[in-house]
Amino acid sequence: MPSRPFRLRVHDTLTGRKIVLTPPARGHLTIYVCGVTPYESGHMGHAFTFSIFDVLVRFLEANGVRVKYVQNITDVDDPLLERARRDQIDWRELADRETKVHLRDMTVLGWRPPDVMPRVSDEIKGIVAAASRLHSTGYAYKTDALYFDASKYRGYGRLSHRTRRSMLRRLREEGMLGTVGPSAKRDALDFPLWRRSGPDEPAWPSKFGEGRPGWHIECSAMSMHYLGAQIDIHGGGRDLVFSHHESERAQSESLTHKVPFARAWVHTGMVRYEGRKMSKSLGNLVKVSQALQRAPAAAVRLYLVGHRYRRDWSFEWQGLARSARLVEGIAKFLAQDARTATRGGSARPGRALMAEFNAALADDLDTPRAVRTLRAAVRQRDAAAVRAMKDVLAGSASLT
Ligand SMILES: [Zn+2]
């Protein structure tokens, strides 16, 4: 248990500043991270985001903070349903298969599993209830679908720091602009909470007709269901800031009038490969399974978290190889130490090393600095410090 008050500084996307997060006096520090849409799982972009949040959770817990961590599975969403249609397989089968890939990869990469991993398809009741409440309180209207009226929420665009024009541009890029008209949405910024399902798409009964939820309301409803009206940290990849998180924030605060919905919005950068953003459409995804063929799991983890979480970076095989050499050194040193350690000795990690390590992570999760401190601990032959740091940075990922 910590004897001193624990403080974490994190960069908050909404204010654009580092803010201080102190753990609650009682109960848990709550974290909601938007999980995968399981149709093309298991690449480095995903692994980076979830490894970074794993370091965050492990770092908090190593300092005696109790954490409740929720990460959802978006198994009802346009890209997944489109892919299922293209590949002519059942959407559930695709979602199950790709969810397994995600869980397998993250298990090998040594994560501390989230406390709850809700799947949208299991959460429809809560989602419909949230949509209904927005409708009955005047934040949503029904035409060909049930839409959230973005003009009713003051500050739509503030999280992403975008003007109306820039939001519209982004919606166009995402292919989410939709149709504006008397029988559709009133304004291009409005977005569906509940819509009719297409052929071969899942559909559930609701008072708004048979259909399926819109993407954003799914996360608002799941986050509130498992973590309450307000959460400490809401995380995800930076590509989710607009429109997903912007819309989630608008809905959640309109639902509860409890502000802020999230005390800190934490976003990870994009992973590039050969100079371009890693994406399914460009076909340049590097899979976790490919990296694991060349390096131990702990090396993949340390390579990923060796990057500053907010920055975009490029995946390079040479970088992974460097990380593999570090891990080889750690494995050798710890094996040697285990052979020579005196039985019953209470080796404690060096205070200066641990202070530097903790200071690095408490300062907006400076993982590259933390990895450098791990290297220093190996050089200084401090086995207890090496173990403690490895546990936070690489979790239970194997060193060999
Ligand atoms: Zn989400």
Between CA 193 and CA 212 the distance in angstroms is: 9
Q: How far is the CA of 192 from the centre of ligand 1 (A)?
A: 15
CA distances from 90 to 83, 97, 99 (A): 10, 11, 14
- Any idea what DSSP says for residue 27? S
Element housing 318 (H / E): helix 317-340
Question: Is the pLDDT score of 247 beyond 90?
Answer: yes
Q: How far is the CA of 34 from the centre of ligand 1 (A)?
A: 4
Domains and CATH numbers, the chain: 8-273 (3.40.50.620), 318-394 (1.20.120)
Question: Is the pLDDT score of 320 beyond 70?
Answer: yes
* 184-200 per-position pLDDT tens digit: 999 999 999 999 998 88
Q: How far is the CA of 333 from the centre of ligand 1 (A)?
A: 42
pTM of the model: 0.96
52 close to 365: Cβ distance less than 8 angstroms: yes
Q: Is 48 exposed, middle or buried (0-12, 13-18, 19+ CB in 10 A)?
A: buried
Element housing 250 (H / E): helix 246-256
Question: Is the pLDDT score of 388 beyond 90?
Answer: yes
Between CA 320 and CA 305 the distance in angstroms is: 11
Q: How far is the CA of 241 from the centre of ligand 1 (A)?
A: 10
* 63-109 per-position pLDDT tens digit: 999 999 999 999 989 889 999 999 999 999 999 999 999 999 999 99
* 253-294 per-position pLDDT tens digit: 999 999 999 999 999 999 999 888 887 778 889 999 999 999
| Helix (DSSP H) and strand (DSSP E) numbers for the chain | 13, 13
Q: How far is the CA of 229 from the centre of ligand 1 (A)?
A: 15
Beta-sheet pairing, 67-71 with 29-33: parallel
Between CA 367 and CA 308 the distance in angstroms is: 6
- Any idea what DSSP says for residue 210? S
